[in-house]
Amino acid sequence: MKKKILAAALVMSMMFSAVACDDIGGLKDKSVDGSKVYKGTEYTSEVKLCDIKGLTVAESAATVTDEKVRETEYLLLTNTTYGALDLTNIGHKEGTVEMYDVVNIDYVGTVDGVEFEGGSAEGYELPIGSGTFIDGFEDGLIGVNSGETVALNITFPEDYSNNTDLAGKEAVFTVTVNYILEFNDETINTVENQYIISRFMMENFLCTDTITSAEELENAIKEGQRLVSIASYIVPTIIDRSEVTLNEEEAADYVSKVKEVYTKSAEDNGYKFEEVIPYYGFTDETQFTQYFTKMFRSYVILLKIAQDNNITTTEQEYQDFVNMMIKTTTSRQYLTTSDYEADYPKDATIDDLIVRKVYKYIVDTVTIVSDEEATSFESVTTGEETTEAAEGETGAEEGETTAEGETAAEGETAAEGDTSAEETAAAETTSETAEATE
Where residue 256 sits, what CATH number does that domain have?
Answer: 1.10.3120.10
Report the pLDDT value the prediction gives residue 26, as an integer from 0 to 100. Answer: 47
Q: Which of 127, 151, 182 is the last residue of a domain?
A: 182
Looking at the structure, tell me whether residues 167 and 300 fall in a common domain.
no
Report the pLDDT value the prediction gives residue 376, as an integer from 0 to 100. Answer: 58
- For residue 141, the one-letter residue type is L
Q: Which of 161, 182, 203 is the last residue of a domain?
A: 182
Helix or strand run (H / E) with residue 175: strand 170-182
Looking at the structure, tell me whether residues 220 and 317 fall in a common domain.
yes
Is pLDDT at 392 greater than 60 in this prediction?
no
Strands (DSSP E) found in 235-370: 243-245, 313-314, 367-369
118-128 pLDDT, tens per residue?
Answer: 899 999 999 99
Looking at the structure, tell me whether residues 201 and 305 fall in a common domain.
yes
Higher pLDDT, 351 or 422: 351
131-150 pLDDT, tens per residue?
Answer: 889 999 999 999 999 999 99
What's the rounded Cα separation, in Å, for the pair 196 and 147?
31
Looking at the structure, tell me whether residues 328 and 421 fall in a common domain.
yes
Looking at the structure, tell me whether residues 267 and 376 fall in a common domain.
yes
The pairs formed by 293-296 with CB atoms below 8 angstroms and a separation of 24 or more are 293/246, 293/251, 293/254, 293/255, 294/437, 295/15, 295/258, 295/388, 295/389, 296/246, 296/250, 296/251, 296/254, 296/255
What's the rounded Cα separation, in Å, for the pair 338 and 200?
23
> Which of 227, 186, 157 shows the shortest CA–CA distance to 91?
186
Total structural domains within the chain:
2
Strands (DSSP E) found in 23-169: 27-32, 35-41, 46-48, 56-58, 91-93, 102-111, 114-127, 149-155
Looking at the structure, tell me whether residues 167 and 196 fall in a common domain.
no
The pairs formed by 190-197 with CB atoms below 8 angstroms and a separation of 24 or more are 190/86, 192/83, 192/86, 192/327, 193/85, 193/86, 195/82, 195/83, 195/324, 195/327, 195/328, 196/79, 196/82, 196/83, 196/84, 196/85, 196/328, 197/76, 197/85
Q: Which of 149, 182, 215 is the last residue of a domain?
A: 182
Beta carbons within 8 Å of 320's beta carbon, 6+ residues apart: none
Higher pLDDT, 434 or 210: 210
Looking at the structure, tell me whether residues 295 and 422 fall in a common domain.
yes
**Gyration radius of the chain over CA positions:** 23
Looking at the structure, tell me whether residues 325 and 416 fall in a common domain.
yes
What's the rounded Cα separation, in Å, for the pair 320 and 208?
10
Looking at the structure, tell me whether residues 309 and 430 fall in a common domain.
yes
What's the rounded Cα separation, in Å, for the pair 350 and 151?
55
* C-alpha dist (Å) from residue 237 to 124, 382, 389, 421: 46, 9, 17, 37
* C-alpha dist (Å) from residue 285 to 259, 289, 396: 9, 6, 17
200-218 pLDDT, tens per residue?
Answer: 998 888 888 889 999 999 9
Cβ atoms of 348 and 38 within 8 Å: the answer is no
319-377 pLDDT, tens per residue?
Answer: 999 998 998 888 778 889 998 998 888 998 999 999 999 999 999 999 988 888 876 54
pLDDT band, very low/low/confident/very high, at 171 (cuts 50, 70, 90): very high
Cβ atoms of 293 and 247 within 8 Å: the answer is no
Stretch 397-402: mean pLDDT, rounded?
35
What's the rounded Cα separation, in Å, for the pair 147 and 144?
9
Is pLDDT at 2 greater than 50 in this prediction?
no
| Model confidence, pTM | 0.71
What pairs with residue 102 in β-bridges? Answer: 127
- For residue 321, the one-letter residue type is F
Report the pLDDT value the prediction gives residue 334, as an integer from 0 to 100. Answer: 87
What pairs with residue 179 in β-bridges? Answer: 104
To the nearest whole number, what is the mean pLDDT of the chain? 80
- The full 3-state SS of 225-257, as one line of letters, equals HHHHHHHHHHHHHHHHHCEEECCHHHHHHHHHH
Range of the domain at 344: 2-84+187-437
pLDDT band, very low/low/confident/very high, at 38 (cuts 50, 70, 90): very high
Is pLDDT at 316 greater than 60 in this prediction?
yes
Looking at the structure, tell me whether residues 289 and 413 fall in a common domain.
yes
Q: What are phi and psi of 118, to 5 degrees?
A: 80, 5
Report the pLDDT value the prediction gives residue 8, as an integer from 0 to 100. Answer: 35
Looking at the structure, tell me whether residues 204 and 297 fall in a common domain.
yes
* C-alpha dist (Å) from residue 203 to 13, 229, 433: 5, 15, 19
Beta carbons within 8 Å of 68's beta carbon, 6+ residues apart: 225
Beta carbons within 8 Å of 7's beta carbon, 6+ residues apart: 384, 387, 432
Looking at the structure, tell me whether residues 298 and 238 fall in a common domain.
yes
What pairs with residue 103 in β-bridges? Answer: 126, 180
Among 20-29, 258-267, 333-342, 363-372, which is the least confidently predicted range? 20-29
Is pLDDT at 10 greater than 60 in this prediction?
no
Cβ atoms of 121 and 104 within 8 Å: the answer is no
Among 50-64, 99-113, 398-412, which is the least confidently predicted range? 398-412
Stretch 180-188: mean pLDDT, rounded?
95
Is pLDDT at 240 greater than 80 in this prediction?
yes
**Edge to edge, what strands does the sheet with 27-32 contain?**
27-32, 35-41, 313-314
Handedness of CA 218, 224, 230, 232 (dihedral sign): negative
Is pLDDT at 57 greater than 50 in this prediction?
yes
Among 11-25, 42-56, 278-292, 379-393, which is the least confidently predicted range? 379-393
CATH of the domain at 125: 3.10.50.40
76-128 pLDDT, tens per residue?
Answer: 999 888 889 999 999 999 999 999 999 999 999 999 999 998 899 999 999 99
